[in-house]
Amino acid sequence: MASKERNQNSVGGDSLKLRQFFYNSNNFADVVEVQKVDIYFFDKDEVSESNPKGLRLIQTIDGTLVSHDDTGKYSIDLALDDKYLIGKYTDVWTVVVESSNPAITINATFQVYSNLWYSSPSPIVYEFNFRFRPNKLRAGSKRYLIIEVEPNVPTGSDLAKYYENLAIASPLRISIEQACGPCLPEEQDLRLIVDNEPVDYRDRGRGLYFLDTAELDCGIYNVWFEMEFGGNTYISDKQQLQIY
């Protein structure tokens, strides 16, 4: 069983993390209560005049089972067992934002895909391209690095579609080391400020990694990525991040 994010091409048997982020005046803020999360399947056999989208209730997660990950950040872990068929779903969050106001509902969608199969008379030998942005940050910045993974395969082929799905579904990790600056340690291990950490937030072929530079020295940092699937380990070239 793999752990996936909302837009990471989940399949039956996966554990799917569904997140919701809440802001108040551009800052993360806690809500009063998450009462429940209802999961509905878009079922074409249920379409009717009174139910034009064909929504069929699959599961209700009580608010006590919703994880409060951090200020304004909530999530549930959904086990995609046999009741989750291939198709599109909506998760409906019932939330009390302020005690003086009634509960509201917030809708998001996700999809369960068929298992990803591919056959070939020869081993898979193509590569992936990794890049990230921004690559320059002012010291003290707190930003998400946006990591893009792109398969380097012939476009328009079945193999390209396969690799695109692998880039979405495969675990991604990041490492960052100080390359030059006024306080560069002599020991190689001490230069490593991020050591092969998982990139948890995934959105299709992109990953998001939150970097707090408040305690980092100004200078040049090497950044590289690692991705694994099918017994292969892909490690990107070292790219540079400037903190100034």
The range of the structural domain enclosing residue 31 comes to 3-113
Query: Is residue 164 one of the residues assigned to a domain?
Result: yes
The answer on 88 and 150 residing in a single domain is no
pLDDT of residue 2: 83
pLDDT of residue 26: 87
pLDDT of residue 77: 97
Helix or strand or coil: residue 190?
A: helix
pLDDT of residue 220: 93
User: Residues near 186 by Cβ (< 8 Å), separated by ≥ 6?
Assistant: none
Query: Is residue 83 one of the residues assigned to a domain?
Result: yes
pTM of the model: 0.78
What's the domain count of the chain? 2
pLDDT of residue 172: 92
Cα dihedral sign, 60-20-24-197 = positive
Below-70 pLDDT ranges, the chain: 1, 124-125, 154-159, 166, 181-189, 230
Q: What distance in Å separates the CA atoms of residue 70 and residue 22, rounded to the nearest whole number?
A: 11
pLDDT of residue 95: 98
The answer on 154 and 49 residing in a single domain is no
Helix or strand or coil: residue 70?
A: strand
CATH code: domain of residue 147: 2.60.40.1930
Tokens of 79: 């086990």
